[in-house]
Amino acid sequence: MFPGPLGVSLAGKALDKGLWAMDVVQIRDYATDKHRAVDAPPAGGGPGMVMRADILAAAIDDVSRDAENRDAESRDEWPLVYLSPRGKRLDRNMVRDFAAKKGITLICGRFEGVDERVLEGRDIIEVSLGDFVLSGGELAAMALMDAVVRTIPGVIGDAATLDEESFEVGLLEYPHYTRPRIWEGREIPAVLQSGHHGKIKEWRRRRSEDLTQTRRPDLWKNYIHGKNDVK
């Protein structure tokens, strides 16, 4: 499954240039039986299967030793992250924080999840993409990786692009337009054709505020609160 979409476009070019790197570890390689099984029925009964703590821990410990060999002196410098619906919601601040680390170990669960003891015993951070469930953690890991990789200097051609994206100032991004000037009777807003940079900037900020207030009242509330704190 890896690198998948991370091997193409901007992320793929950056991977080829060595701006970032990834190692994929197959958890089944740490299984102890001929079938390479990594799961077992849940204690107490119930549907599905659960990833075993001993096998997953063996994989994690092996990867953690590799991280230590890359001069990661503490878990904070190279965190262990388990993609889980019950984790803390991934946001811009978390992405920036991950990008500043020496590395991240992402754990992709399957089945009903993983044995709780390995999460506790290895000080693993749980991170969620949202209030929904995927068949496995691989797609979630790719999304997190893409969000982090694109913040690495040199990956995005124009670094200023990152400064105006959604969430960078606590707002959703303003609408974009390009040629043709009129399409199906809809014309590009006149202010964007005026050449007046001050008015364009003001219009974009106002549209960002309008969109955020309408579509993400939770973000709007935090934005207003932040503005009041600054004042």
CATH number for the domain spanning 200: value is 1.10.1270.20
Which is more confident, 152 or 163? Answer: 152
What is the number of H-type helices and E-type strands within the chain? Answer: 8, 7
**pLDDT reading at 168 higher than 90:** no
Closest-CA residue to 146 (of 173, 106, 110)? 106
Grouping H, G, I as helix, E, B as strand and the rest as coil, residue 31 is: coil
Q: What is the pLDDT of residue 70?
A: 78
Are 88 and 180 in the same domain?
no
Over residues 44-86, the pLDDT tens digits come to 999 999 999 999 999 999 999 887 777 777 889 999 999 999 9
Q: How far apart are CA 78 and CA 100, in angstroms?
A: 10
Neighbours of 27 (CB within 10 A): 21
Are 91 and 190 in the same domain?
no
* pLDDT band (50, 70, 90) for residue 103: very high
In a domain, 171, yes or no: yes
Beta strands in 7-104 (DSSP E): 39-40, 50-51, 80-89
Q: How many domains does the chain have?
A: 2
Q: Which helix (H) or strand (E) holds 217?
A: helix 217-230
Structural domain including 211 reads 164-230
Are 58 and 144 in the same domain?
yes
Q: What is the pLDDT of residue 166?
A: 64
In a domain, 67, yes or no: yes
In a domain, 155, yes or no: no
Q: Is the pTM above the cut of 0.85?
A: yes
Give the chain's mean pLDDT. Answer: 92
Are 15 and 98 in the same domain?
yes
- Cβ neighbours for 200, distance < 8 A, ≥ 6 positions apart: 191, 192, 194
Q: What is the pLDDT of residue 18?
A: 97
Which is more confident, 141 or 158? Answer: 141
